Amino acid sequence: MDLILVSVVLASVLALVYASWTSKRRGMPPGPAQRIFGSRKPSTVPPWKIFAALHKQYGKIFSFYQGSTPVVVLGTIKAATDLLDKRGSIYSSRPRNIMAGELLSGGMRGLGMPYGTRWRNWRALMHAGMSVEASQNYKILQSLESKILLRDLLSASDSVEYSAHLRRFAISVVFCVAYGRRVLSLDDPLVVENMKTDECYIRMSTPGRYIVESWPILLKLPHFLQWFRAEPLAQRARDTALYTRLMEGVREQMKVGVAQSSTARWGLEKQAEWGLNDLEMAFALSAPFSAGVGTTLATFDVFLLAMLCHPEVMKKAQAELDGIVGPHRLPDFEDAESLPYLRAAIKESMRWRPVAPLGVPHSVIAEDMYESMYVPKGTTVYANIIAMSKDEEVFSSPEEFRPERYLDEMKSDSKVLPPQSTFFFGFGRRVCPGMHVGQNSLFILAARLLWAFDINRSGDATGESVLPDKDDFIGGLVIRPRPFAYSLDLRSEDRRSLILEESRKALDEASMWG
């Protein structure tokens, strides 16, 4: 009799749980019943590939549960614009991120902060340091560094060395944006420490990698049983020491009047206005490096890959450069408006293979309805950037690399860009704050590299030229092409002489940044 009673009670409980779950799902976008993430062993399939399969099965908007948290994935620019842009007052928060946001960062990294006063203060600081207007201050440094890069590439022998020089360029620019100082070598201890920090943050932000994100009840365990806790806390202690040291270095420079324009200088000048204490300020000032280096390098790798796969585009961009700039000077920022095809090719590379395939997820702070679909309060919302880039209703033949898609925009005087031109930077109030600095770096890199060099395939062990796999990408929150071989072949000896002359002058001028 007792066994029958227990069975009846258990069946009733299970029925109530099932009814509760189905009622929560009722009205939400369609989606799978089973868990996508949250097992003890993380999936080896990248999240964006999992989402691609689910879009095919359930449509351009689907939903699922990650533990007890509802998740909605938006696969169109229109849906993301309607919700994340136009309803930004409720779609601009961030989901809880235990590993990267809480344990690793102590809630102090703006990228993962929930929407509110603290985040708005952080955003104001980033805007002051990297807005359209502020980004103009870094153009001189970007120009000088790109001249030095060209000199370094002249003596490099293979794609491994090319990559190292490109990395130094990107890191040096970002360090100047953040702290007003150049980076002369990748062996600089500050660079080594920052790269370790960056890798750790990206890894711990990857969806589905850690079971505690799906089951936060694990935080109720005694600390010594929380196997996932030790690594992020140890890294946070190292990060705190590093970021504080960098910030205090700028503060000392300000005292003696030698600090260059940087986000750190502006932040420290108005620290009370931003409402950030020293520890919060130190973490805030790390944002340009954390978000800027990996995305810049990955995006330029995609541009190089596109030029290898589509040499006709490279030749057309070079012809435009030759017609506007000629062989006797380097292209500069002032040439940008006269180089619409090159700018369109850069933008098309960002659409063709987006390097932030799922962006950074948003969180909804109030329940909502969209096209008769229910979005509960607390839902995590992904803007599936890579799915948007392949939407045939917006981009005809999306697998084709076709800069002409953006030519009309490049020739327009309008300052208001359509969503299909900016979606890879994110949406709404969470759009990438460093987009203007990043675009300037990409332009001067692409313009000067194509002016100086032909980008050609390298041979394999048999001497056969090899085309890289354009779909072989690695990474997590930010992805990049798997390292591939290529050669940079100087277009003329006259250009070598000009590069060497310009780089000598650039080294002298850049000395004020260290």
Q: Which residues are annotated as a binding site for heme?
A: 432
Of residues 282, 240, 236, the one with CA closest to residue 104? 236
Q: Which residue do the tokens 């691609």 mark?
A: 52
- Provide, for the chain, the percentages of residues in helix, strand and coil under a 3-state DSSP scheme, each rounded to the nearest 5: 60, 10, 30
d(CA 341, CA 405): 10
d(CA 449, CA 200): 31
**Cβ proximity of 418 and 409 under 8 Å:** yes
Numbered residues of the known binding site: 432
Q: Hey, is 427 helix, strand or coil?
A: coil
E strands present in 149-202: none
Which pairs count as long-range contacts for 330-339, CB under 8 Å and 24+ apart, including other chains? 330/147, 330/150, 330/448, 330/451, 330/498, 330/499, 330/502, 331/444, 331/447, 331/448, 331/451, 332/143, 332/444, 333/139, 333/143, 333/440, 333/443, 333/444, 335/447, 336/443, 336/447, 339/447
State residue 262 phi and psi, 5-degree precision.
-165, 165
Q: DSSP secondary-structure letter at 216?
A: G
Q: What type of residue is 495?
A: R
d(CA 373, CA 392): 23
Of residues 173, 172, 129, the one with CA closest to residue 266? 129
**Cβ proximity of 66 and 32 under 8 Å:** no
d(CA 8, CA 83): 45
State residue 39 phi and psi, 5-degree precision.
-80, 165
**Cβ proximity of 318 and 450 under 8 Å:** yes
d(CA 370, CA 72): 11
d(CA 12, CA 6): 10
Residue 324 burial (CB count, 10 A): 14
The rounded Cα 249 to chain-centroid distance in angstroms is 27
Q: 372 is written with which tokens?
A: 């008769």
